[in-house]
Amino acid sequence: MVAQNIAFGVLAAATSLAAIRVVTTRNVVHAALYLVVVLASVGALYILLTAEFVAAVQILVYVGAIVVLLLFGVMLTKATLGEDDQLDNDQRWLGAVIALFLLGTLSFVLVDAFGDDKLPSLEGVSRATLEAQRGSGAVGDAIFSTFLVPFEVVSVLLLAALVGAIVLARRD
Amino acid sequence: MLLNQFLLLGAVLFCTGVYGVLARRNAVLVLMSIELILNAVNINLLAFGAMHGEAAAVASQVFALFVITVAAAEVGVGLAIVLLIYRNRTSVDLDQVDLMRG
Amino acid sequence: MLENAWIIPAITFVSFWIILFFGKRLPRGGSEIGVAALVLTFVLSCVAVFQWVDRPADTIIQPVGASHASADEGESPAGGHESPAAGMDEMEEGHSLGMRVVPAAAGGETDVEGEAEGHEVEPIRAAVDKSTTWFKLGSLEVKAGIHIDGLAVTMLFVVTLISLLVHIFATNYMQGDVRFTHFFAALSLFTTGMLVLVVSSTTLQMLFGWELMGLCSFMLIGHWWEKKENSNAAMKAFLTTRTGDIGLLVGISTLFFAAGRTFDIATINAAALGGGMSETALKVGAAALLVAVIGKSAQFPLHTWLPDAMAGPTPVSALIHAATMVVAGVYLVARLYGVFWQGFDISAGGANPIAIVGGVTVVIAALLAFVQNDIKKVLAYSTVSQLGYMVMALGVGAWTAAVFHLFTHAFFKALLFLGSGSVSHAVHSFDMRKEMGGLRKHMPTTFATFMIGSVALAGVFPFAGFWSKDEILLGAGKNGYEFFMYVGLVGAFMTAAYMTRCVYLTFFGEYRGHGHPHESPKAITVPLIVLAVFSVGAGWLNAPFLNYWFGEVTRNETGVMAGLSHHPFEIGAALVSTVVVLVALGLGYVLFFLDKLPTGVTQRNALARVGYRILDNKYYLDRLYTDWIVGSVKGAIAKAAYWINQRVLDGVVNAVGVGAKRLGRWVYDTIDQGLVDGAVNGAGTGAEGAGGALRTIQSGRVQQYGALLFGAATVFAFVLAILAV
């Protein structure tokens, strides 16, 4: 239990700090690298929540593909490499106030609603049981039975995004 | 572990993302901030899933996967749009994209 | 087949997708799939017809007006309404909530039983009802299902037969078209829409089929959208029918709440007839649905889209704008007849909105048919006029006659349209005056079938139109709507006359076009011949010598509950209408055939001379419209306005002027200078300031908008959170 909490503390600190650096750093490439830290820590948090398959996908898709894609975006738009004072606009203080206000409201509501609710302890549950109940196999079964239609819809969405991206980005 | 640990971390991530979306000038950075927001949502989904038993755990994982998929699609299209803006104006500065000015 | 009638629309729906996806790769461009699907549905519809006819008529339903004792007795056995003699195992057969259903011991004894209760109630065939849950909204469970009775079976037969023939016709007519596959896909989808409408058991499903047809009609009218007129016509048809669809939506919603949160048609009818609905709700519902009918069935004053819709390919005109889609409105009224019967108080006689709309349409459209030179436009106006007939028949309480006219009209109007298509196939035009004439020698089959269709439409004994028209006139006369009987007679007269003109211009006289027209191939003539057979024989189904078989088969609960009466054939009325038609034909013959004879005839024969002059001036209708009506109205209004201006206004103005001057001085001094100026200046300054302030918000910067959005949402969330604590 303690180990989990320590792990959570470390990961949460890493996530929050890296996330704040993503939105404050003056170097575009650094922002992307901090984003890697955020995404990887979040992936680790998924493991804490017994969602190992999602964690794996998080690393593969986000860190492996999306960040690379974003770096390509940085490259293709010829962003300034190195320090750039022009990365923030003049309403950053308004943005900060809104974000903090939102955070305050959300924290208030969450604490008010969920208080000290504990996640159910999984101590004493065997690994095999856990695997069968919420492991990758169970997720796969759910995707191809209960959530088959949404899955197909998402496939079509991906196809549409693919076609749309090509149509938008090609030169003619 | 408390449920609120995760929810509050999600809230922090979400608000950071919101700040990024509002305050960043570079369109690619705005896209990155949107990724933060989507991750916050996923943390919430999985935390609630872990809270409410096996069926919910599986369902939450499936939906988290869908969110990741949608995020990938969003980045693809978003970057295509950014490239298009860059090609037309040789800049990805969102302050200069103000065709909607009244 | 009756319990599984949903298969019939399902087949055409599947066919639509197959044609859409694979049609282009098939050797015949997808048309073979369409024809095969229609053959299948037609066979299944025939099976349904036979099963329906075979079904024992064993259910007795009490008219609402009957004595209360028997009515109460009828309501009690909720589940026992089905005769043991029936021996059928339909699932929820005739369940119709709240309907007064009395079990009959056996088919033979029913008459006796009915008479013993003091009124004759003939047993009818119980409708087949089968439904499943479509979706749930909270506690509301919306059903979807089929409701098959005589009316639905009739429509299934008509729609599938005509659709099949039109498909066959189109395989040749549309050959080489750029969007051949697309055309057949749309035809399949359209047929699906109509069949869904026909079999549906809820108003929501009807709306579904109704809109599906609207969409297909739009696609098919604009099939050759490269020409601006065609896409304009499609747009016009779509928007005009859409105007009516607002009525449908309002009507469905009204009835949904009025009937106790249900879309079920049988329940709505029963509630309307059984007094389960408030009078206001009924009136509003019926009026709203009437608007829908006016739009879809091209009734006056929304009839203008139908002639324009002739821009579509001819098979489309035959299928959609003559035989099926445009009768959807008529079908809607026939289906929800309980609502109209009570809402418009049809049993009272005299006049009611439906009958008036129908009657006006009959006359207006028939008049317009005279001045058209485009053969399809003549037929279009004729269709409008005949739809008016059906609507009028429903308005005067002649339900069976309306459905019967729908049935017969579908055959001969489809025949006429396909005939005009065959003609245009030969001469490559629709212009009767410039490109046709004398075609009877060149196209004998088309000529013969077109003649049959024309006399059937004109209502000549013993062709189909005679029987159905006669029933409508008889119904109007007997139900206390004598005026509409005369309207009908006038309509019949004009129909016969303009069809004579149309036939004359197309098939007689000298050929005025160029090239050598020749008879169309088999794919075109065979559908014509089949339809011609029906145009001759369909009317006999409800003739006295077949014991009014059609009426007996199509009778349903609604009709019995409303206590619709059937009037047997009367030789006198039939003679009158026959004489009227014959006079019209004779007059038409004199006007159109004889004036082409040597000039001496026009000189000697006064009637021919008058006729020639009228003909020459297009019956003065153009002048009537432009000069007389518009001119006189314009002139009269101008004169009246001048008179009022000189006599009334001048005096008033002078008097007012003097008074106003004094008042004005006072107002200027006190109110204007002091009060108003200050207010106006203040408002101006305020608006300027606000505009300037708001203008900065309209910066066009997405992120600023985002900040406002997020800020506002956060504030709202905060307020909600505070309120909830």
Q: What b/e string do you get for C308-339 counting C-beta neighbours within 10 Å, with b at 16 or more?
A: bbbbbbbbbbbbbbbbbbbbbbbbbbbbbbbb
Token readout for C233 is 């016509």
- With helix as H, strand as E and coil as C, how does C435-496 read? HCCCHHHHCHHHHHHHHHHHHHHHCCCCCHHHHHHHHHHHHHHHCCCHHHHHHHHHHHHHHH
Q: What is the CATH number of the domain that holds B49?
A: 1.10.287.3510
Averaged pLDDT, C367-375: 77
Running DSSP on this structure, what letter comes out for residue C127?
A: P
Query: Considering only CB atoms, which chain B residues are within 8 Å of C695?
Result: 102
Is C68 a residue whose pLDDT tops 50?
no
Residue A122, token pair as written in the block: 């999984």
Alpha carbons within 13 A on the beta-carbon side of A147: 21
Which alpha helices (DSSP H) does C370-438 contain, by range? 375-395, 399-427, 432-435
CA distance C466 to C716: 71
Map residue C324 onto helix, strand or coil: coil
The pLDDT assigned to C100 comes to: 44
Cβ–Cβ under 8 Å, residues C700 and C706: no
Res C605: pLDDT = 63
Name the least confident of A29-33, C82-86, C675-679: C82-86
Contacts of B99 in chain C (CB under 8 A): 700
| Residue C88's pLDDT band (cuts 50, 70, 90) | very low
- ipTM for the complex shown: 0.90
Subunit contact C699:B21, Cβ cutoff 8 A: no
- C-beta of residue C401 within 8 angstroms of C-beta of residue C471: yes
Inspect the interface and report whether the beta carbons of B23 and C701 lie closer than 8 Å. no
Mean pLDDT lowest for which of A70-74, C304-308, C694-698? C694-698
- Using the predicted structure, report yes or no on whether residue C90 has a pLDDT greater than 50: no
More confident residue, C567 or C528: C528
Strand partners, C60: C102
The pLDDT of residue C622: 40
Q: Which structure tokens are listed for C424? A: 């245009």
Residue C97 confidence (pLDDT): 42
In this model, does residue C92 exceed pLDDT 70?
Answer: no
Cβ atoms < 10 Å from Cβ of B72: 17
Q: Tokens at residue C685, please? A: 């300054």
**Shortest Cα–Cα distance, A124 to chain B (Å):** 15
Cβ–Cβ < 8 Å for A94, C699: no
Of these ranges, A8-22, C372-386, C604-618, C669-683, the one predicted with the greatest mean pLDDT is: A8-22
Distance from CA of B41 to the nearest CA of A (A): 11
pLDDT attached to residue C606 = 67
CA-atom Rg of chain C in angstroms: 30
Nearest-CA distance A134 → chain B (Å): 6
- A interface test, pick of B6, B13, B18, B19 with most A CB neighbours within 10 Å: B19
Cβ within 8 Å, pair C703-B23? yes
Asked whether the predicted pLDDT for residue C628 surpasses 60, the reply is no
- Cβ-nearest to C707 among A91, A106, A108: A91
Average pLDDT of B31-54?
92
Residue with the larger pLDDT of the pair C640 and C523:
C523
Task: Find which of C283-287, C559-563, C570-574 is predicted with most confidence, using mean pLDDT.
Answer: C283-287
A138, pLDDT greater than 60:
yes
Predicted confidence (pLDDT) at residue C608 exceeds the cutoff of 50: yes
More confident residue, C631 or C365: C365
Instruction: Tell me what pLDDT residue C630 has.
Output: 47
pLDDT at C76 over 60: no
Which residues contact residue B85 at a Cβ distance below 8 angstroms, ignoring those fewer than 6 apart? B27, B91, B92, B97
In this structure, are strands C59-61 and C128-137 parallel, antiparallel, or unpaired?
unpaired
Of C695, C698, C703, the CB nearest to B94: C703
Q: Token pair for residue A119?
A: 């996640």
Segment C641-669 shows an average pLDDT of 72
> Is the per-residue pLDDT at C85 higher than 60?
no
**Maximum average pLDDT range among C48-52, C372-376, C681-685, C697-701:** C48-52
Break chain A into its structural domains and give their ranges. 1-81
**Which band of pLDDT confidence, cut at 50, 70 and 90, is reported for residue C113?**
very low
Write down the mean pLDDT value for chain C.
Answer: 78
**Whether A98 and C703 lie within 8 Å, measured CB to CB:** no
Task: Report pLDDT for C376.
Answer: 84
Contact criterion met (CB below 8 Å) for C42 and C530: no
The CATH class given to the A1-81 domain equals mainly alpha
Res. C459: pLDDT tops 60: yes
Closest Cα of chain C to B100: distance in Å?
A: 4
**Which one of B36-40, C16-20, C404-408, C542-546 scores highest in mean pLDDT?**
B36-40
For residue C429, pLDDT over 80 is answered with no
**A60-69, A79-88, C313-322, C395-404: range with lowest mean pLDDT:** A79-88
Question: How many whole angstroms separate alpha carbon C527 and alpha carbon C171?
Answer: 12
Does residue C632 or residue C678 have the better pLDDT? C678
User: Is the pLDDT at A4 greater than 70, yes or no?
Assistant: yes
B39: containing domain = 3-100
Burial of residue C571 (number of CB atoms within 10 Å: 0-12, 13-18, 19+): exposed
Is the pLDDT at B65 greater than 70? The verdict is yes
- State the total domains in chain B: 1
Dihedral over alpha carbons C53, C54, C58, C63 (to 10 degrees): -10
Neighbours of chain B (3+ CB pairs under 8 A): A, C
Tokens read off for C721: 């959170």
Of chain C, the percentage scoring pLDDT greater than 70 comes to 83
Q: What is the pLDDT of residues C472-487, one digit of tens each?
A: 888 888 888 888 888 8
pLDDT of residue C617: 45
Residues of A in Cβ contact (< 8 Å) with C721: 105, 108-109, 112
Note whether C700 contacts B99, CB cutoff 8 Å. Answer: yes
Quick one: pLDDT at residue A97? 92
Given an 8 Å threshold on Cβ–Cβ distance, is B47 in contact with A49? yes
Higher pLDDT, C412 or C103: C412
Q: If you average pLDDT over every residue of chain A, what do you get?
A: 89
Q: Which residues of C touch A (CB under 8 A)?
A: 703-704, 707, 710-711, 714-715, 717-718, 721, 725
User: Looking at residue C95, what is its pLDDT?
Assistant: 42
| Torsion angles phi and psi, residue A94, rounded to 5 | -60, -45
B97 close to C (CB below 8 A)? yes
Beta carbons of A130 and A50 less than 8 angstroms apart: yes
Residue C719 burial class via C-beta count within 10 angstroms: exposed 0-12, middle 13-18, buried 19 and up: exposed
| pLDDT > 90 fraction of chain C, expressed in percent and rounded | 1
pTM of the shown model: 0.62
Q: For position C636, what pLDDT does the model report?
A: 64
CA distance C655 to C248: 53
Q: Is the pLDDT of residue C500 over 70?
A: yes
Mean pLDDT, residues C146-150 taken together: 86
Of C282, C262, C446, C429, nearest to C353 by C-alpha is C282
Helix (H, G, I), strand (E, B) or coil at C144: strand
Identify the bridge partners of residue C144 per DSSP, sorted by sequence position: C132
Torsion over CA of B59, B61, B67 and B73, rounded to 10 degrees? -110
Closest chain C CA to residue A98: C711
pLDDT at C159 over 70: yes
What whole-number percentage of chain B has pLDDT above 70?
A: 97
- SS3 of C216-277: the string is HHHHHHCCCCCCHHHHHHHHHHHHHHHHHHHHHHHHHHHHHHHCCCCCEHHHHHHHHHCCCC
DSSP-derived 3-state class of residue C651: helix
Q: Given a cut of 90, is residue C677 above it in pLDDT? A: no
Name which of B1, B24, B79 is nearest A119 (Cβ-Cβ).
Answer: B1
Rounded to whole angstroms, how far apart are CA atoms B62 and B56? 10
Cβ <8 Å between A91 and C711 = no
Distance from CA of B42 to the nearest CA of A (A): 9
Say what the pLDDT of residue A12 is: 93
The band of A60, judged by pLDDT with boundaries at 50, 70 and 90, is very high
CB contact (8 A) between residue B18 and residue C703: no
Closest by Cα among C405, C403, C436, C410 to C422: C436
Contact C274, C98 (CB under 8 A): yes
Verify whether the Cβ–Cβ distance C721 to A95 is below 8 Å: no
- What sign does the dihedral C432-C436-C441-C447 (CA atoms) show? negative
Q: What is the pLDDT of residue C602?
A: 54
∠ Cα C619 C621 C626 (to 5°) = 145
Mutation for B interface: C701, C705, C714, C715, most B CBs within 10 A: C701
Per-residue pLDDT tens digits for B9-21 = 999 999 999 999 9
Residues of A in contact with C704 (CB under 8 A): 91
Question: Residue C634's pLDDT is what?
Answer: 60
Residue in C711, C721, C725 closest to A98 by CB: C711
Q: Residue C102 carries which DSSP code?
A: E
Tokens for C222, please give them: 């604009």
- Which residues of chain C have a CB within 8 Å of the CB of A105? 714, 717-718, 721
In 3D, which of C2, C317, C268 has the Cα closest to residue C169?
Answer: C317
Most B-contacting residue of A22, A27, A117 (CB-CB within 10 A), to test interface: A22
Please report which helix (H) or strand (E) contains residue C135, including its range.
strand C128-137
Cβ within 8 Å, pair A108-C714: no
* Contact between B79 and A115 using a beta-carbon 8 Å cutoff: no
Residue in A65, A111, A139 nearest the CB of B58: A139
DSSP secondary-structure letter at A172?
-
Give residue C110's pLDDT: 41
> Which among A43-52, A120-129, C604-613 has the top mean pLDDT?
A43-52
